[in-house]
Amino acid sequence: MSIELESTRRALREAISQAERAAELARLLDAAQARLAAAEQSADEVKALAERLTETEERLEAEQAAADKLRKELAEQRFQAEVANWKLSSIKVARWNRLGDAIKSGKSNPVRLAKGLRGAAKPVKRPIAPKRKPVAAAGKPKDERPGAAFQATSTTRTLGGASFKLKPYRVPTGPNTRPHLTAAVVADAHAEALLRYEWRQTTGFTPRDFARVLPLEVPHLLVVASVTQGPWAAEITGEPGEGLKALLAWCHERGIRTVFWHTQGDVAAYAEAAELFEHRFTTDLTVAWPRLQFGVQPRVHNPVPLAGGRIDRVLTLDQLLPGHLTYPDVLTSYRWPAAADCPPGTPQWRLAEIAACGTPIGTEPDSRRAHVALRRAYQMGTMTERIDELLDAIGLPSARATLNTSVMLPILDPYLMEHALAQVAKQSGVDQLIIIGPPESELRARDVLPDVEIIYRRPHPAMTEGAMLDAGIDLCEADLVAVMDPRDVYGPHYLSDLRRAFLFSTADIVGKAAFYAHLRKPQATLLKQPDAEYTYLQEIAGATMLARRNTLRELGFADLTDGWDEVLMRQCRTDGIKVFSADRFGYVRVRDEDRWLLGAAHLVEYGSAEPHALI
């Protein structure tokens, strides 16, 4: 009996304990449900606040648009009132009106009439017509040009305890290569600098506001790089975030191509997010995705020098690129040293960017080696060519302006024909040759240049070289037109080096103000204006001219044999046409003698110029 009683007591105690635990669990469950309800209520409140914020921002934008419209209408009314006042004032000072007033006021007084007529006959300055003034927006307008928000304002470096203040490289603000194409881009400063000139680019949107920002200019594609900082870093690392999923869904609904570009870090960290994109590319050779390597961006990786020039020192990579630099400061550093001593293992893209900025890589400055390295950096591929490949792969048109070239070759002396055609045959990228010379030059040109379109015109006996060129310009069909002199020597990279300048300059005419020359009689090799490389100037040599076809058609050529290029350069200065002087290499002016050149150039040596110029 006692055993049964003890068992009953023990069972009762266990039941009470379990009931207490159940009560505690029920209490915890109630508390959890209360917290969950509170969280749901908070989420609803946050959602409602976000919706109200969006509605408020939309109303604010509508009110700003209405205010801008009213400002424009008010400015137009003021302008029209100014025009009316100007017309009235112009009528009052017009000679016929003043004559009428003089006759009316002096019809009964001959003396007053005579004075009035004399006064009316004197010229009177007419009032200046009003001009429309730009309407200022309510806030400071955002500059949408590429690079506008990417400028370094000042930059300093420290070497051996000494501080150097540099004049920063001015990042160009346009134009872009494909103005018909808009891309929404999430990338770090380096990748963004490579992409910003390839299309109209939208950046700065976040997971919270993309649905409001992107519709302002709906993009054709979305490019997301493997960023490690910023609001999108957490969205693309590990498990994809809700903001990324919402962005991709938004793009999918509108037929916008989506691209993930793996540019840095372990690809495994981005693998899940990358799978959500339609297309994936990588810079890593060990990853089995299509390649989209870094290429030099001509708009920022180019040999245009700093305003203050280079320091006369060779810098190591650590001295050149201390860790605190922003990318605009990096672009300044690339152009600063006499040479850059880069250690083994330096990334290939870094070496290409330094070389593309014209900086010799090594322990000693060497302008010839630097020029060859620059050429090789561009031959490895520009970002424009990389984006062509990307667009072709994802099914978007990669149309853009070309650097197709027509060459005009006027031959006044039949004995120079073979030499002249040999110089053209060396060049790459020649689509068309306009040859104006002796009859036999047409057949010979077709033999020497079988893959080039040949257009021949026979000149009149008294035709000047300028007249030949003026007749030939209307026959040119390529975007660029080169003028070559049959007396001179051109290297095999001459035209390709010159064409490169159109990728980073805003000039309509490119040529050489710095060049080598060879005078046969004294056997002297000269160098003219060595400091005139990579700069905008008022004059370049006519025999080195490569210009936009439409510009030359508008300018025309003077009817001269000697001096047509000087007249053309004067016309460029008058019309405000930009002229850019490229490098000194790839061309030799050849004359028997030239007193002017002897007085204006530096003597290099007595001997051939080609070893110096043709690299």
pLDDT, tens digit, for every residue of 402-427?
A: 899 999 999 999 999 999 999 999 99
Query: Which tokens hold the place of 102?
Result: 């003089």
Return the amino acid letter for 382. T
Range of the domain at 598: 405-614
Residue 96 pLDDT level (bands cut at 50, 70, 90):
low
Residue 583 pLDDT level (bands cut at 50, 70, 90):
very high
Q: Report the alpha-carbon distance of residue 130 to residue 85 in Å, rounded.
A: 10
Q: Kindly state whether residue 70 falls inside one of the protein's structural domains.
A: no
Residue 434 pLDDT level (bands cut at 50, 70, 90):
very high
Determine contact, residues 226/264, Cβ cutoff 8 Å.
yes
What are the strands, taking DSSP E only, across 306-351? 314-316, 339-341
Q: Report the alpha-carbon distance of residue 308 to residue 117 in Å, rounded.
A: 64
Same domain? For 321 and 226 the reply is yes
SS3 405: strand
Q: Kindly state whether residue 69 falls inside one of the protein's structural domains.
A: no
26-30, 284-288, 555-559: least confidently modelled range: 26-30
Residue environment code for 481-501, b if the CB has 16+ CB neighbours within 10 A, otherwise e = bbbbbbbbbbbebbbbbbbbb
Number of structural domains found in the chain: 3
Above 80 in pLDDT, residue 38?
A: no
SS3 339: strand
Contacts of the segment 563-566: beta carbons below 8 A, 24+ positions apart:
564/464, 564/465, 564/466, 564/469, 565/541, 566/539, 566/542
Q: Kindly state whether residue 271 falls inside one of the protein's structural domains.
A: yes
Same domain? For 192 and 100 the reply is no
Task: List C-alpha distances in Å: 18 to 4, 8, 33, 161.
Answer: 21, 15, 22, 77
- Span 281-299, mean pLDDT? 94
Same domain? For 385 and 435 the reply is no
Burial of 207 (0-12, 13-18, 19+ CB in 10 A): middle
Above 60 in pLDDT, residue 236?
A: yes
Above 60 in pLDDT, residue 138?
A: no
Domain end, chosen from 372, 400, 428, is at: 400
Determine contact, residues 577/551, Cβ cutoff 8 Å.
yes
Q: Please report which helix (H) or strand (E) contains residue 273, including its range.
A: helix 271-274
Q: Kindly state whether residue 346 falls inside one of the protein's structural domains.
A: yes
82-96, 271-285, 362-376, 542-556: least confidently modelled range: 82-96
Q: Please report which helix (H) or strand (E) contains residue 350, including its range.
A: helix 348-356
Q: Report the alpha-carbon distance of residue 486 to residue 151 in Å, rounded.
A: 45
CATH number for the domain including 587?
3.90.550.10
Burial of 457 (0-12, 13-18, 19+ CB in 10 A): middle
Q: Kindly state whether residue 146 falls inside one of the protein's structural domains.
A: no
Q: Kindly state whether residue 381 falls inside one of the protein's structural domains.
A: yes
Same domain? For 162 and 251 the reply is yes
Same domain? For 535 and 559 the reply is yes
Taking alpha carbons only, the member of 514, 510, 512 closest to residue 530 is 514
Residue 245: partners with Cβ closer than 8 Å, 6 or more residues away: 276
Helices of type H across 94-230: 95-105, 110-121, 189-195, 210-213
Q: Report the alpha-carbon distance of residue 299 to residue 511 in Å, rounded.
A: 19
Residue 121 pLDDT level (bands cut at 50, 70, 90):
low
Same domain? For 236 and 362 the reply is yes
Same domain? For 389 and 413 the reply is no
Above 60 in pLDDT, residue 50?
A: no
Residue 66: partners with Cβ closer than 8 Å, 6 or more residues away: none
How does strand 524-528 pair with strand 515-519?
Answer: antiparallel
* Residue 482, beta-bridge partner list: 407, 546
For the chain, the straight-line distance linking the first and the last C-alpha, in angstroms and rounded, comes to 116
Q: Kindly state whether residue 467 falls inside one of the protein's structural domains.
A: yes
Q: Report the alpha-carbon distance of residue 500 to residue 302 in Å, rounded.
A: 9
Above 80 in pLDDT, residue 366?
A: yes
Residue 154 pLDDT level (bands cut at 50, 70, 90):
low
Residue with tokens 């300018």: 555
Query: Which tokens hold the place of 524?
Result: 């002297």
Can you give the pLDDT at residue 261?
Answer: 97
Same domain? For 446 and 475 the reply is yes
Same domain? For 492 and 363 the reply is no
Q: What is the mean pLDDT of the chain?
A: 87
Can you give the pLDDT at residue 71?
Answer: 76
**Percent of the chain that is helix, strand, coil (3-state, to 5):** 45, 15, 40
pLDDT digits (tens, 9 = 90+) for 194-214: 999 999 999 999 999 999 999
Taking alpha carbons only, the member of 546, 557, 552 closest to residue 586 is 546
Can you give the pLDDT at residue 427?
Answer: 96
Helices of type H across 282-326: 317-320
* Length of the chain counted residue by residue: 615
Same domain? For 436 and 393 the reply is no
Return the amino acid letter for 142. K
Can you give the pLDDT at residue 241?
Answer: 94
Domain end, chosen from 400, 425, 455, is at: 400
Burial of 543 (0-12, 13-18, 19+ CB in 10 A): buried
Same domain? For 233 and 159 the reply is yes
Residue environment code for 554-591, b if the CB has 16+ CB neighbours within 10 A, otherwise e = ebebbeeeeebbebbbeebeeeebebbbbbbbbbbbbe
Same domain? For 329 and 412 the reply is no
Q: Kindly state whether residue 219 falls inside one of the protein's structural domains.
A: yes
